Amino acid sequence: MRPEAVAEIQRIRKRYPRSRSAVMDALRIAQTEHGGWLPPEAFREVADALDVTPAYCHSIASFYDMYHLEPVGEHLVEVCTNLSCALAGAQAVLDAFASELGVRPGETTEDGGFTLRAVECAGGCGRAPVVVVDHVYHEPVRPEDVAGLVEGLRGE
Amino acid sequence: MADLVSLTVDDRPVQVLPGTGLVEAAQAAGVEIPVFCYEPRLGPPVGACRMCLVEIEGIPKLQAGCTLTVQEGMVIRTAATSEKAADGQESTLEFILVNHPLDCPVCDKGGECPLQDLTFRYGPGKTRMTFPKLTFDKPIPVSPLIALDRERCILCYRCTRFSEEVSEDGLLVAVNRGARSLIATFEDEPYRSPFSGNVVELCPVGALTSTLYRFEGRPWDIQNVPTVCTGCPVGCNVSATIREGKVKRILSRNHSEIDRGWLCDKGRFTYPHLRARDRVTTPLRRGREGLREVTWEEALDTAEELLREAGTAVVTALSGSETTEIAYALGRVLRGGLGAHSAVLPEATSDALDAFRLPLSAIAEAELVVIVGDDPVVERAPIVDLWVKEAARRGAEVVTCSPGGDVQTSPGGGAALCGELAERGSKLGKRLRAAERAVLVWSGPGGGGGARIAELAHELGFAEKPGCGAFHLPSTPNGHAVAAAWSAAADAEEAGPAPIKLLVVSGDEAAADPGVRALAEDAEHVVVITMFQELAGGWADLILPATASLERDGTTMNLEGRLQRLRRTVPPPCPDELTWLSELGARIGVALAPDAAGVYAELAERLFRDLPLEDLGLQAPLPARKAYEAPAPATTEVSAAATATPEHFVGELKLQRYAALFSGPAVERVPELRFQRPEREVELSAADAERRGIASGDTVLVRSNGTSVELRARVSRKLIEGVARVAGEHAGDLHATVEVVKAP
Amino acid sequence: MASNQTLLTAGTEDRDLTRLEEYRAVGGYEALAKARALEPQAVMDEITAATLRGRGGAGFPMGRKASLLAKDTGRPVYLVVNADESEPGAFKDRDVMRFTPHRLIEGCLITAHGIGSTSVFIYIRGEYLHEFEVTRAALEETRKAGLLAGVTIVLHRGAGAYICGEETALLESLEGSRGQPRPRPPFPPVTGLYDAPTQINNVSTIALVPKVLELGAAEFAKIGVPSAPGTAVFSLSGNVAQPGNYERPLGTTLRELIYDIGGGVANGRELKAVIPGGSSVPVLTPDEIDTPMDYDSIQAAGSFFGSAAIIVVDDRCCMVQLALRAAQFYMHESCGKCTPCRVGTRWLVQLLTRIEAGEAAPTDLELLENVCDRMLGRSLCALGDFAVYPVSSYLRKYRAEFEAHVTGAGCPFVGESSIEGIIAPIAQHAHPVPEVVGG
């Protein structure tokens, strides 16, 4: 982690009466510093920055869906498959991504370009099916939109 | 006296104090509310397991009884009188058993397992689960001492709450979410905490088990013998589990004032040293061909000969781990029989502290705790560290004054600090004076064995306040009573003889002490009473086998000043010391009883004001405070282990040696404890490290004239400048000042 | 009673209310000035008199909640805003934050004044990155304009856990612990955030406060129904022609919402089921859609108002598959603290998977029912109940469909259900439950 990142964590700590409250943001920062996931080293760094143990940091990170404990691709493609999106045809969208990317849901492409996964309700049910790409909402996404979307990402 | 709260449990009326929890209230009414996750020592109830579901009149949903306190007029129904509650409790057990493996035949917990017991009492008769159960690799080594079976785990979180809320190590945690949750350490690193073993006793199923006890016995095969631990001066109450004449494990016996049911890993896991490879079971005498086994008759002949020849030129080195009776018997034989009064005594606790006596549990009630001294409390008296943490959690202010503390002091600077605190200008001193419940703790060598802290307590007016007190943490488990018993054995005093004709070394700690070994070089002959051949094999003329504390009857006095009863849990592989001391005494005209009760009866007259041995009971009481008697004034103190610094070498850093908890001959003989031993490290302050271009993890050389030790550096943000801290066993022959450089 | 008077989304149709001067142009922050001129208790009295019920799902009156705050504890009083919106079908709070963040901020400041707090935390679900950025920018504008007056508002981002929408789990998460609920008592107004008295309210509840102060309790109470005054933002989704957020007075019926406002069932299909309050509430059948959407009426009909997230299900959907998909959601989101939910949610998934695959026997339906009964009311928090409501209500109201699965006839939709093969995250997790088939 770069010194700037550590400094940011120390700034965030000051917002709260108890410094542990900063752990969620600290883990988020460490995750960005480590290319989108949290290797064991990241937990040691966060632990050091907050005066806590790496075990505690790992305990927190493993509780939430947005922390990745395994490497992820350059692009994170998340397709909501909860009730409303399912009713609106989300599986076909997920299938289209799997086919376009050549990877199964939950897995990362071999070239490390994409991680595809199904997620629970993203909060875009009014414009389902919802796909979140690198934390940006795309709503709605139809199967026929997938190829273009992926091509655009590949171009980046 | 507060008004009691009246309620009924299963139609039984009961009255309890306000604030009582439902589980205890039901207990008072003679009713069981079953629990798994509920354990008051772990902090507020969590309501996780749902085993304690009860029906409360007026509330439609079942309630988790453990999370509630009594209300006037409450009508509680448990499974005994409520079908709904019975269904609730049965369903909790059904859910737990859905994934719980049928391991009972191979599970150490079987037979003493709350899950088994509660299933019989409240659970379903058969399973409706027809799917594959959640499986995990098992067992996982949480550490060399503890095995984890995740399939058996019912996720009651007792272990993680202990790690977070009691020992505050943050090393054992829950990972993942929901049905995928499991207990783990970080990256499979071992759970390295001085208190890790407590999770084995806390675990209500066979998920966390002791590796040393794995497959060693079934509850119906064993006996539990109550005794007291002598690993440190706290004197936790324990039970030794015995099977076929061997100690198989140590459990807590929960003395609410001393240990609260916790044990440290040293006390819990050191018992295998009773069967160490180099355990001495017959006397050994040095002849022309080296050490040879001899009979007891021959050994005592030799001992008698040596004693008669030496006469008064005998020095006795005591370990401070002897029972009071053994120390007294030695005193009667050597001092009474020979007039040999000279001894190297363990550090005794100043009698002046008797005026500020408190039970250890009072620490948790304190509003202010001030700890003075060079050594961390956890290395000297681990359970005291838990009491201090409890105090802090309850809102107490805790101030440590040490080389690495909140108030940084130089090694040996504690006494001066006590003087400062006594002055009117001291802010901390002022807070101490104002507090109704304040505790002083001396943790480290020197300080007059607590004399300085007693003087301070007197200055601060503690004697008048029942909530205020002071503790000295000595370096030996029974040092105070041993020194007192030795003194009481005869009346004369005398200076040390020169030269020493005979050195009598009692106990392993003395045998391992470099200072005692140095004395041995000056003595003509040496008799060593020890458990381990390797300790004295190179330099003793006569080795007499010692028994272990677990094999002794007798008494021991802890740091509170509480006298406790040791009970023989297994017969020793050699005669008890009192037996042959009695015989040896008889040979030189000293009449001495051959057993603990007899010896105690005699010394009790002199030391303990006729307190009968039987009255010490299973949970010994704390004697009342005495009137304050000023201790002898401070003298220039020379630490026994200090070696003079040659004039032409002065290192920049003061070497601070500390005695680690997991050190000593007994601990060294338990391989599973090796990972708890102190690291081969030297601790430096951030400033000192930076000046030398040293970072944490670097290999460094710690040098003093003529000697050099290679260690790993650890930079401490809290350590005072000018100090290098090393565990005593790694410091070798280093002098009082050293230099630290990065290794080439 | 104007049927299209908006309170939460007022002004957003033709102005960009993310900007301070636009918000001021529609009267923004005037209610704050009015409130600050009043005694704190007077502010809370107004909110109480308006019977402003919590829009987070439970519908607990906000004023009454605040009256439970412990006084004179020597500790600060905290205001925590629950912006963790994760209920399947709900997306109303998201619109408040991204279209009218200043209304939320104003609500925070008025409430803070009313309860004597100078410390506000907004816990916003981690996935709402854009909404977080918009709110943060608005907060900065507010700060620069000097409107905070000593009150700090901290935006705390979540990281993906539905359970953190539960009040005490949210507090645990905010404090830096795993987001697992606490036993109650003690309740948050007494012992909440950092052991201090805490008022927790949903985003939309707080965002209604400025209008309550602006209109006054009496005028506010004229909108909606007496037991539940005001408006709610209804989130329509699923097989409805015009899904989206629609702010209407409480008491609007499901029929009005689905047919008059939502354009009816999409693609000309038949209505089969309506879940009125997000996936966590019991399902209603087509003959029940004349029920008014207010807390008491829906409860009388056997369901709950919840997040007012109305999921419309058409006749192409297999209810067993829908039950399984819902069960998989709760299994994924269960925090794992208490036994019935941790074990029960997984057992429900196992049973429903077997039933959907046509490998179950009629006794498995009884078992499914009984597992539901044994979970209901036994868990540490409501998630255990929420996991039960979909399963037990679909089983009760569409029993024939379930029975067809277990009597050898198999799924009546023979691979053609609208949600056939839907893959749930739990089926693709790193530690998969081997026997759970993804679909």
pLDDT of B353-381, one tens digit each? 999 999 999 999 999 999 999 999 999 99
Residue C351 sits in the same domain as residue C206: no
Q: Is residue C26 domain-shared with residue C133, that is, in the same domain?
A: yes
Which of C119, C174, C189 lies closest to C151 in space, CA to CA? C119
A145 plus A89 within the same structural domain: yes
Predicted model pTM = 0.95
Do residue A58 and residue B174 have CB atoms under 8 angstroms apart?
no
Which residues 26-85 of C have a C-beta within 8 angstroms of A? 85
For residue B505, give the H/E element and its range: strand B502-506
Return the CATH class of domain B131-275: alpha beta
Q: For the domain that residue C292 is a member of, what is the CATH number? A: 3.10.20.600
Cβ neighbours around A72 below 10 Å, total: 17
- Let me know if residue A148 belongs to a domain: yes
- Asked whether the beta carbons of residue C421 and residue A87 sit closer than 8 angstroms, the reply is no
- Write out chain A residues lying below 8 Å of C420, CB-based: 91
Residue A150 shares a structural domain with residue A87: yes
Across the interface, of C176, C428, C430, the residue whose CB is closest to A105 is C428
Q: Are the Cβ atoms of B46 and C183 closer than 8 angstroms?
A: yes
Chain B residues near residue A54 by CB distance under 8 angstroms: 186-187
Report yes or no on C4 lying in a domain.
Answer: no
- Given a cut of 50, the residues of chain B with pLDDT beneath it are 638-646
What span, in angstroms and rounded, lies between the C-alpha atoms of C218 and C226? 11
Instruction: Give burial (CB, 10 Å; 0-12/13-18/19+) of C39.
Output: exposed
Are residues A140 and A86 part of one domain? Answer: yes
Q: Chain C neighbours among B 134-173 (CB < 8 Å)? A: 134, 154-155, 157
Torsion of Cα atoms, B548 then B550 then B555 then B557, to 10°? 90
- Weakest-pLDDT range from A135-149, B507-521, C320-334: B507-521
Query: Which residues from chain A sit within 8 angstroms of residue C309, using beta carbons?
Result: 125
Distance, in Å, from the CA atom of C189 to the CA atom of B418, rounded to the nearest integer, reads: 45
Count contacts between A and B (CB, < 8 Å). 32
Residue A88 sits in a domain whose CATH number is: 3.40.30.10
Do residues B236 and B201 lie in contact, with contact meaning Cβ atoms separated by under 8 Å?
Answer: no
Tell me: do A84 and A146 sit in the same domain: yes
State residue C439's pLDDT score.
30
A110 CB neighbour count, 10 Å cutoff: 10
The reply to whether A46 and A92 lie within a common domain is: no
Whole-number pLDDT of residue B744 = 85
Closest residue to C374, CB basis, from B61, B91, B178 = B91
| CA gap B630, B458 in Å, rounded | 9
The CA distance from C321 to C328, in Å, is 10
Question: In total, how many domains does chain C have?
Answer: 3
Which residues on chain A are in Cβ contact (under 8 Å) with C89?
A: 83-84, 121, 125
Does a structural domain hold residue A69? Answer: no
CA–CA separation, C285 and A106 (whole Å): 35
Taking CB atoms and an 8 Å limit, are A58 and B175 in contact across chains? Answer: yes
Q: Residue B439 in contact with residue B377, Cβ under 8 Å?
A: no
On the question of a cis peptide bond just before residue B678, with omega within 30 degrees of 0, the verdict is: no
Q: Do A21 and C428 touch (CB under 8 A)?
A: no
What does the mean pLDDT of chain A come to? 97
In chain C, what percentage of residues exceed pLDDT 70?
A: 97
Q: Per the domain annotation, does C391 fall within a domain?
A: yes
Amino acid at B576: D
Q: What local confidence, expressed as pLDDT, does residue A156 receive?
A: 74
* pLDDT 10s digits, C78-104: 999 999 999 999 999 999 999 999 999
Shared domain check, C207 and C100: yes
Q: Are A139 and A100 in a shared domain?
A: yes
Multiple choice CATH, B351-472, 1.20.1530.20, 3.40.50.1390, 3.40.718.10, 3.40.228.10: 3.40.228.10
* Third-level CATH fold of B299-346+486-616: Rossmann fold (3.40.50)
From residue A134, give the alpha-carbon distance in Å to each of A36, A137, B454, B534. Answer: 10, 8, 66, 66
Q: Is B299 exposed, middle or buried (0-12, 13-18, 19+ CB in 10 A)?
A: buried
Taking only the tens place, the pLDDT of each residue in C224-234 is: 999 999 999 99
What lies within 8 Å, CB to CB, of B343 at 6+ separation is B315, B316, B317, B318, B486
Residue A116 has pLDDT above 80, yes or no: yes
Q: Is A66 a domain residue? A: no
Interchain CB contact of B697 with A (< 8 Å): no
End-of-domain residue from the set C222, C251, C273: C222
Q: Cβ contacts (< 8 Å) between B171 and chain A: which residues?
A: 53, 55
Note whether A80 and A145 are same-domain residues.
Answer: yes
- C178, C236, C313: residue with CB nearest A59: C178
Per DSSP, the three-state class of C316 is: coil
The residue among C274, C296, C314 that closes a domain is C314
- Taking Cα atoms as reference points, which of B467, B278, B410, B396 lies closest to residue B685? B410
C342 and C283 share one domain: no
Residues linked to residue B655 through DSSP beta bridges, in sequence order: B724
Q: What angle do CA B3, B6, B10 make, to 5 degrees?
A: 160
Q: What is the pLDDT of residue C437?
A: 31
Q: State the residue range of the domain holding C284.
A: 231-314
The CATH number that applies at residue C379 is 1.20.1440.230
The first and second tokens of residue C101, run together, are 């963040």
Question: Has residue C128 been placed in a domain?
Answer: yes
| CATH hierarchy code of domain B5-96 | 3.10.20.740
Question: How many CA atoms does the CB half-sphere of B613 hold within 13 Å?
Answer: 18
Nearest to C128 among A81, A88, A123 (CB): A123
> Confidence band (pLDDT; 50, 70, 90) for C432?
very low
CA distance C115 to C118: 9
Is C421 found in the same domain as C397?
yes
CA distances from B478 to B77, B474, C352 (A): 51, 9, 65
Whether A59 sits inside 8 A of B173 (CB atoms) is yes
Beta-carbon contacts below 8 Å between B and C: 99
What pLDDT shows up at residue C431?
35
What number of residues does chain A have?
156
Q: Sign of the CA dihedral C303, C308, C314, C316? A: negative
> Alpha-carbon distance B109 to B593, whole Å?
43
Which residues in chain B touch residue C328, judged by CB atoms under 8 angstroms apart? none
pLDDT at B620: 84
Q: What is the mean pLDDT of residues C332-343?
A: 98
CA distances from C238 to B107, C89, C273 (A): 51, 8, 11
Residue intervals of chain B classified under CATH 3.10.20.740 are 5-96
Sort out which chain A residues have CB atoms less than 8 A from B172's CB and list them.
55
Instruction: Report the residue from A67, A70, A137 with minimal CB separation from C430.
Output: A70
The residues of A whose Cβ lies within 8 A of any Cβ of B are 40, 43, 52-56, 58-59, 62-64
Give the DSSP per-residue string, A24-66.
Answer: HHHHHHHHHHTTTS--HHHHHHHHHHHTS-HHHHHHHHTTSTT
Asked whether C351 and C324 are in contact (CB, 8 A), the reply is no
ipTM of the complex: 0.97
Answer whether the bond into residue B499 is a cis peptide, omega within 30°: yes
Q: B660 is written with which tokens?
A: 């680690």
Check the CA dihedral C176-C178-C180-C182 and report its sign: negative
**A81 and A143 assigned to the same domain:** yes
Q: CATH 3.40.228.10 residue ranges in chain B?
A: 351-472
Query: Which of these, A141, A129, A124, A87, lies nearest to C275 by C-alpha position?
Result: A87
> Does residue C254 belong to any structural domain of this protein?
yes
User: Considering the domain boundaries, does residue A68 fall inside one?
Assistant: no
Q: Pick B99's closest partner by Cβ from C343, C429, C431.
A: C343
Among C314, C345, C380, identify where a domain stops.
Answer: C314
Residues B594-616 have pLDDT tens digits of 999 999 999 888 887 767 777 78
CA distance C322 to chain B (A): 21
Please give the Cα distance from B371 to C61 (Å, whole number).
Answer: 51
Contacts of B52 in chain C (CB under 8 A): none
- Please tell me which chains touch C, using 3 or more CB pairs under 8 Å as the contact test: A, B
Which H or E element spans position B401? Answer: strand B397-402
Q: Are C300 and C49 in contact (CB under 8 A)?
A: no
Residue C352 contacts residue C324 (beta carbons within 8 Å):
yes
| Per-residue pLDDT at C433 | 36
Q: Report how far residue B521's alpha carbon sits from residue B504's, in angstroms, rounded to the nearest whole number.
A: 13
Please tell me whether residues A37 and A98 are part of one structural domain: no
Q: What is the amino acid identity at position B54? A: V
Quick one: C389 and C423 in the same domain? yes
pLDDT above 90: residue C429: no
**C272 and C329 housed in the same domain:** no
Domain span at A42: 3-61
Read off the amino acid at residue B672: E
C240 and C161 in a common domain: no
CATH number of the B645-742 domain: 2.40.40.20
Q: Which chain B residues are Cβ-neighbours of A64 within 8 angstroms?
A: 177
Instruction: Select from A53, A63, A64 the Cβ nearest to the Cβ of B186.
Output: A53
Structural domain count, chain A? 2
